[in-house]
Chains A and B, each alone.
Chain A
């Protein structure tokens, strides 16, 4: 069964850093594009970042460019999101998801809450 499990969330002060992890199983991870999508409390979904197979290409929403970095470790079937210079508006549940050939988010993790507050 395909499974995505996020970890690493929590409370962080403005300007701080946090690293999210997503452990994948049940599919050929190394052949898959992966993404992060977030959802602020009571708000809609927002695409955050994509990473290609092998990690050679990465893409970001404008609001996180220069602050967030998506990466992957195919040996560990994991994708990561390094978040620096965090702001209150980054507070959200962060989901990792597979990105299909139809540029759709086919499978999702359960989500992990990141709270940026002093």
Chain B
């Protein structure tokens, strides 16, 4: 149950696109299509923004998109906005009803 690997920080200017990677193994990210992404503002609870690799919950803008290739999942935020500045976490099913999170990525909007 080792944590998934995410970059500690990424940054981008308003209007640009940024991609956050999430690397696991063949026992978690590579084995299942159960990858989800969460947005968290300081002092607040996380919010689901992508589930099942590339699906959007109701109310999440299409600027957020997810994908997966092999053992690495990715979250892309297009048309970056100031309000997107937050921490982002990936999460993957790891079998036997266990789940594992990434270490989190701090997104800075320049």
A-B interface pairs (CB < 8 A), number: 64
Chain B residue numbers with a CB within 8 Å of A104 are: 34, 36, 48, 51-52, 91
Choose one: A35, A44, A102, A111; the contact of B103 (CB below 8 Å).
Answer: A44
Check B97–A59 contact: CB distance below 8 A.
Answer: yes
B-binding residues in A (CB < 8 A):
35, 37, 44-47, 50, 57, 59, 61-62, 95, 100, 102-111
Check B48–A103 contact: CB distance below 8 A.
Answer: no
CB B88 to nearest CB in A, in angstroms, measures 11
B98 at the A/B interface (Cβ < 8 Å)?
A: yes
Choose one: B36, B51, B99, B101; the contact of A44 (CB below 8 Å).
Answer: B101
Chain A residue numbers with a CB within 8 Å of B57 are: 106
Check B99–A47 contact: CB distance below 8 A.
Answer: yes
Known contacts A37-B46, A47-B100, A47-B101; 6 further A-B pairs (Cβ under 8 A): A44-B104, A45-B91, A50-B99, A61-B1, A103-B32, A106-B48
Tell me which of B1, B48, B93 has the highest count of chain A C-beta atoms within 10 A of its own C-beta: B48
Check A44–B46 contact: CB distance below 8 A.
Answer: no
A4 to B47, CA, bound (A): 13
CB A4 to nearest CB in B, in angstroms, measures 9
A44-B104, A45-B89, A111-B45 are contacts. A102–B34 as well, Cβ < 8 Å?
Answer: yes
A94 to B36, CA, bound (A): 19
Chain B residue numbers with a CB within 8 Å of A45 are: 38, 40, 46, 89, 91, 101, 104
30 intermolecular pairs with C-beta atoms under 8 Å apart: A37-B46, A44-B3, A44-B89, A44-B103, A45-B91, A47-B101, A50-B97, A57-B97, A59-B96, A59-B97, A61-B1, A61-B98, A95-B45, A100-B51, A102-B36, A103-B34, A103-B36, A103-B99, A104-B51, A104-B52, A105-B38, A105-B46, A105-B48, A105-B91, A106-B57, A108-B45, A108-B46, A109-B45, A110-B45, A111-B45
